[in-house]
Structure 1
Amino acid sequence: MKNDPDNYRRLVRRAALAASITATFLILAKLVAWISSGSASLLASLTDSLMDAAASLLNLLALRYATQPADAEHRFGHGKMESLAAMAQAMFIAGSSLLLILHGIDRLLHPSPLSEVGLAVAVMLFSTLATGLLLLYQGYVIRKTGSLAIKADALHYRSDLLMNCAVLLALGLTAWGIHLADALLAIGIGIYMAWSAKEIAQDAIQHLLDRELPATEQAKIIALAEAHPKVHGIHDLRTRQAGGTRFVQMHLELDDHLPLVDAHKIADEIEEDIRTVLENCDVIIHQDPISVVANNQSTKTDAAEASVSEPAEGDART
C-alpha cells in the first residue's frame, strides 16, 4: 500500500516477531543436536542462531520504537532507529563470526570424532526448511516496505540458510571419513558471516549519514515534476530516507506572475504524484519565480568568469 504508515508498521513488526520465534525454535533444536554430536560446524550454526535470536529480539524492540509516529520532539519521526538496529546486528554477526573462526581453528588442531550424525542431519534439515520459510516472508515484507532493519535481518538469515547447507555437507563428508571438513566449513562460514556484517554496517552507516535516494528514484521525482505543463524546471533536489519514510525537498521554477494560489496548487499536484509513485514520502516544495532563477544563474556565471579571468596577485605585480 502506498503511503500507509500503519501498514508499514504492521508488516515490519510481524516480520521481526516471526524472526524471533523462528530463531528460538532453531536454538533449541540445534542445542540438542550439538550436545549429541559434538560437531564444530553444528556449533557454528548454533552460535549463529543465538546471534540471530539476540539480533532479532533487538530488531523487534527497535522497530517498535522506529515505527512510532512523529512527535513534538522528533518531528521527522523515529526511523533512524532502524539503522541503529542494523548496526547492532552487524556487530552481533561480526562477533559470532570471530568465535566460529577461532573454534574451527581449535577443532583443526584438536580433532574429535562425531556421534549421533543422524539426529544432527534431521535437525539441520528442519532448520533449513524453517529458515527458508522465514526468508520467503521477509522477502515479501522487504518488497512491500524496503525496511533496512528487515533487510539486515534477512541478510544474516540468508547466511544462516547457507550455513545449514554447509553443516549438512560437513556432516556428510565427516560420515564418509573426511574429518577435516567439519572444522574447515566452520571457518569458511565464519568468514562469510564477517563479510555479511561488513555489508550490513556499510548500508546502515550510509542511511545514518542521510545518503541520497537511489538514482532511479531521483530520476522518477525529476520526471514527475518536469512533466507538469506549468513547471519550467526544478533545482536543489535533496533526498534521504529514515526507516520507511523518504524525505524529498526541491525548488520548482514557475512563471513570475502566477498567483500564489495557483503555485500552491501546482506544488500540491506534484507532491501527490510523487507520493503515488514512491511509498511513504514526505515532500516539501519551494516555488521560485523563473526570473529569479535566471538572475541567480547569471550571477553565478559572471562570478565564475570573473574568478577565472582575474590575474593572480603575483601576476599583477609582474
Structure 2
Amino acid sequence: MTATPTRAAIASVCAALLLGGLKAYAAWTTGSVAMLASLSDSVLDLIASLVTLAGVRIAAQPADANHRFGHGKAEALAALFQVVLISASATFIAVRAIERLTSGEVAADPEAGIIVSVIAIGVTLLLTAYQARAIAASGSIAIRTDRLHYQSDLLLNAGVIAALVLESVLRLRGADPVFGIGIALWLLWGAWHAAIDAIGQLMDREWPQEKRRAFIACAAAIPGFESLHDLRTRSSGSQDFAQFHIHVPATMSVAEAHDVVEALEARLEAEFPGTEILIHVDPEGQVDRPGEPLREANELRGA
C-alpha cells in the first residue's frame, strides 16, 4: 500500500488514541511525572494529528479559481499549530516536574509505567517508519513535523522507563522530575526547528542551495539557450515552484525558442517531479535586472 500523507495522518491519529489510553492508565496508577508528561504529549499528539490530517487533506485539493497556486500552505499552518501545542505541552511538563522536585513525591507501581512505555516505543517505531515512507514519496512538511514529534516520543518513553527504574527501583530520589524537565527541553528544541521549517514555507523561502544547484545543473544540460538568470524557487506543502529567465540568440524565432522551453520543462519536470515551472525568454543582450545575473548555468557548462 502506498504511503500517502493522508494515510500517514490517519495512522498517526490511531496511534495517538491507542497510546493515550494506555498512558492515562499508567499515569493514574504510578503518579509518575515522567509518565504524566508522556500522557500529556500523547493527548497533544492526538490533537496535532487531527490538525495534520485536516491540513494534508486541504493541501491535497487541486488549485481553484481562488487559490491558483493550490492549497499546499495548509500543511505549514498545520505544522505551526503543532508547534504551539508542543510548546504548551513542554511548559506544562516543566512546571509539574518542578512541583514534584519541591514536594518530594515518589512514583508508585513502576511496572505498569514501564510496560506501557515499552508498548509505546514499539507502536511509535512502526508509525515513524510509515511516516518516513510518506515523506519520501511526498515531501509533506506537516507529516515531517508530525514525525519529528513522534520521534521525540521515542526519547520521551525511554526517559520514562529510565526515570521509573532509577527512582522506584534504585531509589534515586528526584530522577523522575529531572527526566521530566529534560523531556520538556527536548520538546521545545524540536518545536523550534519545526517552526523554522513551517515559517520558511509561509514566507516563500528559497530552496536549499544544494537543491538549487542541482536544478541549475539539470537545466544547463539542455542546449539552445545562452544563460539562465533570475531563478526564484519556493515550496508550498509538497508542491515546488520554480521560475527563471533564459537568454536565447536574438536571431532565434519564436517557434525555436518555444522548442527550447519545452525541452527545458520536460527535463526539469522529469528530474524534479511535482514542480511547477515558469520560464521567461529574453533575447541575448537583454538585461532585466542589472547586477543580478545568475551565472551558474554557464559555469556548469564550463563556459
* TM-score class normalised by the smaller sequence: over 0.9
Partners of 1:285 and 1:38 lie apart in 2 by 62
Q: Give me the whole-angstrom Cα distance separating, in 1, the residues matched to 2:241 and 2:28.
A: 51
**Which of 168, 171, 181 is equivalent to 1:177?**
171
Query: Structure 1 length normalisation: TM-score?
Result: 0.88
Deviation at 1:257, TM superposition (A): 1.8
- CA-CA distance at 1:140 after TM superposition: 1.4
Aligned residues: 289
Deviation at 1:111, TM superposition (A): 2.2
In the alignment, what sits opposite 1:88? 81
Q: Following TM superposition, by how much is the alpha carbon of 1:29 offset from its aligned partner in structure 2, in angstroms? A: 0.3
1:273 and 1:244 mapped to 2: Cα distance? 20
Structure 1: stretches of 5+ with no match in the other structure: 1-6, 302-318
Say whether residues 1:190 and 2:184 are aligned partners. Answer: yes
Pair 1:229 & 2:223 matched: yes
- 1:278 counterpart residue number: 272
**How big is each residue's C-alpha offset from its partner over 1:87-125, in whole Å with a ceiling of 9 and x where there is no partner?**
100000000000000000001011223222111111110
CA shift for structure 1 position 226: 2.1
Partner of 1:243: 237
Equivalent residue number for residue 297 of structure 2: none
Q: Counterparts of 1:221 and 1:254 in 2: how far apart (Å)?
A: 19
Where in structure 2 are there 5+ consecutive unaligned residues? 292-303
- For residues 229 and 64 of structure 1, what CA distance do their matches in structure 2 show? 40
- Counterpart in the other structure of 2:253: 259
Partner of 1:19: helix, strand, or coil?
helix
Contact kept in structure 2, 1:226 and 1:232, CA below 8 Å: no
d(CA) in 2 for partners of 1:166 and 1:279?
41
Aligned: 1:30 with 2:23 = yes
Deviation, 1:31, is 0.5
Over the matched positions of the two proteins, sequence identity in percent amounts to 37
> Which secondary structure state, in structure 2, belongs to the residue aligned with residue 239 of structure 1?
strand
* Greater CA drift, 272-281 or 93-102: 272-281
SS in 1 for 2:285: helix
Cα displacement string for residues 215-265 of structure 1 (whole angstroms, at most 9, x for unaligned residues): 112112212222222111111111100011111101111111212112111
How far apart in 2 are the matches of 1:253 and 1:264?
13
1:78 to 71, 78, 83: 71
For the aligned residue pairs, the C-alpha RMSD in angstroms reads 1.4
Q: Residue 11 of structure 1 is aligned with which of 4, 7, 17?
A: 4
Work out which of the two has the higher radius of gyration on C-alpha atoms and give 1 or 2.
1
2:148 maps to amino acid: L
Distance 1:61 1:228 in 2: 41
- Aligned pair partner of 1:114 in 103, 107, 117: 107
SS at match of 1:292: coil
2:206 match: secondary structure: coil
Provide the rounded CA distance (Å) in 1 between the counterparts of 2:29 and 2:17: 19
What is the CA–CA distance in structure 2 between the aligned matches of 1:111 and 1:42, rounded to whole Å? 16
* Distance (Å, rounded) in 2 between the aligned partners of 1:114 and 1:251: 65
Q: Distance in 2 between matches of 1:211 and 1:203?
A: 9
Pick one of 116, 124, 127 that aligns with 2:117.
124
Within 1, Cα distance between the matches of 2:131 and 2:203? Answer: 25
Letter in 2 for 1:194: L
**1:170–1:181 Cα contact (<8 Å) kept:** yes
Equivalent AA in structure 2 for residue 18 of structure 1 = A
Residue of structure 2 aligned with 1:209, choices 203, 210, 221? 203
| Alignment TM-score, normalising by the size of structure 2 | 0.92
For the Cα contact (< 8 Å) 1:170–1:185, is it kept in 2? yes
Counterpart AA for 1:234:
L
Q: Does 1:164 align with 2:149?
A: no
Question: Which whole-Å CA distance do the structure 2 matches of 1:279 and 1:182 have between them?
Answer: 48
Aligned to 1:44: 37
Residue in 1 that maps onto 2:132:
139
Say which structure is richer in helix.
1
- State the partner residue of 2:97: 104
1:53 aligns with 2:83: no
* Deviation for aligned residue 1:196: 1.1
Secondary structure (helix, strand or coil) at the match of 2:286 reads helix
